[in-house]
Structure 1
């Protein structure tokens, strides 16, 4: 909420000027925020790249003649999970920028990356390339994702606790 006489362009919500999204203040400009933190940049980049890869893999599986007989259900599951957790990485990156990179948010991000490697990319290697050496690690990828979402929850809870304590 703005104080009496406060310039509306200086009001901020989650480090983003409110006027950026306000349809009633189209004449307002805002000063760009400082650059993204390293952790935010890493997780936003990895999430975006993973999302791009999932779209590319989906297109390849749908259109390449090699996969004309169909794609195994395991690969479809890997694609779906990759898409969800790519968005999860983007959420972690935005959270690191808006709330600060707490140990819980950093753990959530790296656990999501580990889950992508151990689950999705492991299943792609197994079913597409026939590389079966790391088959036993697939459940560890799912476990990493479960822990990642729990860490993200704790990251949000600790940020809320810090804000109410201040």
Structure 2
């Protein structure tokens, strides 16, 4: 069996890049989760529902950051052309849009971005199964 990746390496995507990206996403998510647990309540207009959404975004970002760390260590999937970029982009779109919407409800145009980010994450993980 060959160790050649299913698809050629994407420009700029490498194991070290995925590792760093996974570490940065995970660290940011932990910091945002801490802010959600302690500082978010002090902001005007924050409801229990918005805190729950914030926590969901932080959890998904941690899971996906860890996923990118794991993918970066895999000899085959660290060079996968689609998975890493899709998971990374999906995490930024999904979690980022929820964070932004929680902090500023006037950014309603970001509402449709959240499910697109979720679809990108799902597609990235499914591509690893192919």
TM score, norm. by length of structure 2: 0.76
Match of residue 115, structure 2, among 120, 136, 139:
139
Larger relative contact order (CA 8 Å, sep ≥ 6): 2
Give 1:133 shift.
Answer: 2.2
Paired residue total:
114
Q: Which residue of structure 2 aligns with residue 123 of structure 1?
A: 98
Aligned to 1:133, the other structure's residue is in SS state helix
- Aligned CA distance change for structure 1 residues 100 and 69 (closer, same or farther; 3 Å): closer
Q: Which runs of 4+ in 1 moved over 6 A?
A: none
- Gap runs ≥5 in structure 2: 1-11
Greater displacement, 74-83 / 57-66:
57-66
Q: Deviations over 1:63-105 (max 9, x none)?
A: 225258655221111111111111111112112xx23754xx2
**How do residues 56-71 of structure 1 correspond to structure 2 at under 5 angstroms?**
56-64=31-39, 66=42, 70=48, 71=50
Q: Which residue of structure 2 aligns with residue 107 of structure 1?
A: 82
Q: Which residue of structure 1 aligns with residue 71 of structure 2?
A: 92
- Gap runs ≥5 in structure 1: 1-36, 155-166
Q: Deviations over 1:27-47 (max 9, x none)?
A: xxxxxxxxxx96111110010
What is the Cα-based RMSD across aligned positions, in Å? Answer: 2.2
